[in-house]
Amino acid sequence: MKKFLSFILSLVFSFLISLLVFALLLPEDYLGFWFLAFPATTYFSYRFLIKNGMVKERAIKQLEGELNDLMFEETSLVATAYRSTVSTNSFGKKNYSRFKKELIEHLLDNTESEDVMRYAREIGDFEIPDETIYKIEQVINDYSKSEGFDDEMDPYEYEHFCANKFLKNNWDEAEATTGSSDQGVDVIAKRGDDVLVAQCKKYQKPVGNSAVQEVVAGMGYYGANIGVVISNSGYTNSAKKLAEANNIKLIHHSEIKNL
């Protein structure tokens, strides 16, 4: 079907171009030349359309394979990029535009496919459909669960889960402060000269400003040099701006190992 449509388009395109060119060049007697040129222009137009169509088809298939490999070989990297670039408005609607853009950039920076590079350079922009993003979200969710997280955890269990994550990732000390005068801090962790305080938020919606403010207060109280908000969910744009202004890290619990 695609080839048939390409052939029809090439006929129309060649007819118009041939008629225009030879009418301008030989206004008194162009018809004979047009009959001679029409088959040739049709052939080259058809070859151009088919070639570009084949390049596009191969490029998209190749890029889909590379995205699939990236998702399962570097899930943590993709998950981190997803959480830092996907924003959510007050009604829970997600904006994937920045994530899609940076994901495509990463794939193009690391591809070795000539078809992919040629398509990006000469033919057009790649687009990632929302259906693919939904599949990526499912892989990220499955990855989080594989690390011991359970959606049924209550906030108390989540704080202890995060504290244990610090201990498993070579921190000398880590404890949940639940039940004590915590001064807005859920976990205190120490490693060498570093003292870290964290707020742990198990939410179904993005975490807002208050968690960042509590960590800032807790850092002063405990004399900490690292402040972190940890969540199973994302963060609001205002929380991200406030955290950046106060040098507070906003992470998913799977990223504790990167601290």
Any idea where the domains of the chain sit in the sequence? 2-146, 155-258
CA dihedral 177, 179, 184, 189 (to 10 degrees): 0
What architecture is the 155-258 domain classified under in CATH?
3-Layer(aba) Sandwich (3.40)
Q: Give the alpha-carbon dihedral of 26, 32, 33, 39, to 10 degrees.
A: 150
Residue (of 154, 188, 157) closest to 171 by Cα position:
188
Q: State the pTM of this model.
A: 0.58
The tokens describing 183, both together, are 């001064």
Backbone angles phi, psi at 180, to 5 degrees: -110, 180
Q: Which residues of the chain are modeled with pLDDT < 70?
A: 1-55, 90, 92, 122-124, 144-147, 178-182
Q: Which of 44, 46, 66 is nearest to 117 (CA)?
A: 66
CB-based contact 17:33 (threshold 8 Å): no
pLDDT of residue 182: 61
Q: What DSSP character marks residue 121?
A: I
At residue 6, the pLDDT reads 46
